[in-house]
Amino acid sequence: MWLKLLIVLSLLLLLLAIKANLSLSIFLPGLLLAFLFKMTPTEIIHSTWKSISDWNTIKLLLIIFLILILVEIQKEKGSLQKLVKGMEGLFGNKWMTITLSPSLIGLLPMPGGALVSAPVLNEALGEGEVSPELKTFINYWFRHIWEYFWPLYQGFILTVTIFGIKTIELIKNQFYFTFIAAALGYVSMLIFLPRLKNDIKKEPFIISIKTLIKGTWEILLIIIMLILFPRLDILVSLSIAIISSIVISIPKRKIWGIIVRAFNLRILLLLASVMIFKGYILNSELSSLLKNSISGSHSLLAFLMVSIPFSLGFLTGVNTAFAGISFPLFIPIVGHNLNYISLLYISGFSGVLLSPLHLCLALSAEYYEAKLIRVYKYLTLPVLIILAIAIIVFV
């Protein structure tokens, strides 16, 4: 069994190394896995169709598409600029601005979103006072503190879908890692950041709050619905927020353009490939073989649950990749155990945070003209501390 898995993993790594399309990099090793673990062509076709047509797959694609629409709506309205302006006026504090600008913008998932907050941070920190590498770390770190529990991120949604658990359950099990991440970022700034001149003008409270709400009310609406109605499906809350925003803020002539820009076939195909891969694992003999092989050894299980997602996260720099490739392998063993699922997720996300292929890290370093290798001076220890905490919780 392990030799066969090694062959599948080798194909996956080869495809990643030659920078093949990520959807194919998941689908082709999945197809090989199906053949190696004795699925007939008829069974493979049946499993593929069942995975694509399953409501969970359709729902996943709809949720991600709605998130992409929400991102485009926010861009169209200039919401992020209002968010930053309101925040600066509200706090009138440079430390708050440099941490909250990337973190609040991080509430809205978007590829390379760190570039949105990078100019704000640069303005707040000045040109010569802080090294490019420290700027890169601050912008990158606070941009990603929410991904441990924020239900708009694709990796989080994919995790919920793969393991068949409720969104609110995983939120409750992981939300405190965001506070840990924020604290680690703050401590890093205390250690490395020089004294800054506080030259930001504070605005009247009411004006700042109004500006802040104008920039974030759709996101706030989703949060309120999640809190007040924990059983409400994220698909419904997203739909309500988007429809409300379109009715209130978006001219009819712009709606179609927003939908077209939001339709990202590459992302949707990637998610479909992940669900097909999951189907091959569950419908082949690998499922029972894995369960029998690992279930008797707690130490081996813990090692695999950390190393496999972490490695895939580091190799790809993409949340959906580590979740989609590795999580289906553990379904027969993990079931609905939230502590196991959290260990898998945080292990994978730790690999993503350290990956030089992570788009936000690469773009932040490029924007600030930082040497990427020097950024790891600030980045490595906080990531490893969070991973260590996750392992301790699991143990």
Which DSSP string corresponds to 299-368? HHHHHHHHHHHHHHHHHH--HHHHHHHHHHHHHHHHTT-HHHHHHHHHHHHHHHHH-TT-HHHHHHHHHH
Residue 34: predicted pLDDT: 87
- Cα angle for residues 187, 178, 101 (degrees, 5° grid): 70
Residue 84: predicted pLDDT: 67
CA 193 from chain centre, in angstroms, equals 27
Profile the chain (395 residues) by mean pLDDT over runs of 10 residues.
78 76 80 85 89 84 82 77 70 73 76 66 69 91 92 88 90 94 92 71 73 77 78 82 87 86 80 79 72 64 86 79 83 87 95 83 81 89 95 84
Residue 385: predicted pLDDT: 96
187 with 108: CB under 8 angstroms? Answer: no
- C-alpha to C-alpha distance for 272 and 53, rounded to whole angstroms: 10
Find the farthest-apart pair of alpha carbons in the chain and give their distance in angstroms, rounded. Answer: 69
Residue 159: predicted pLDDT: 93
Residue 118: predicted pLDDT: 76
- In sequence order, the 6+-apart residues with CB closer than 8 A to the CB of 121 are 98, 101, 102, 135, 138, 139
Among the listed residues 201, 208, 207, the one whose alpha carbon sits nearest the alpha carbon of residue 90:
208
- C-alpha to C-alpha distance for 175 and 147, rounded to whole angstroms: 9
- C-alpha to C-alpha distance for 216 and 203, rounded to whole angstroms: 18
261 with 72: CB under 8 angstroms? Answer: yes
Per-residue three-class SS string for 246-312: HHHHCCHHHHHHHHHHHCCHHHHHHHHHHHHHHHHHHHCCHHHHHHHHHCCCHHHHHHHHHHHHHHH
- In sequence order, the 6+-apart residues with CB closer than 8 A to the CB of 96 are 87
3-state percent helix, strand, coil for the chain, nearest multiple of 5 = 80, 0, 20
Residue 196: predicted pLDDT: 64
Quick one: CA torsion of 21, 27, 28, 29, rounded to 10 degrees? Answer: 110
Residue 383: predicted pLDDT: 96
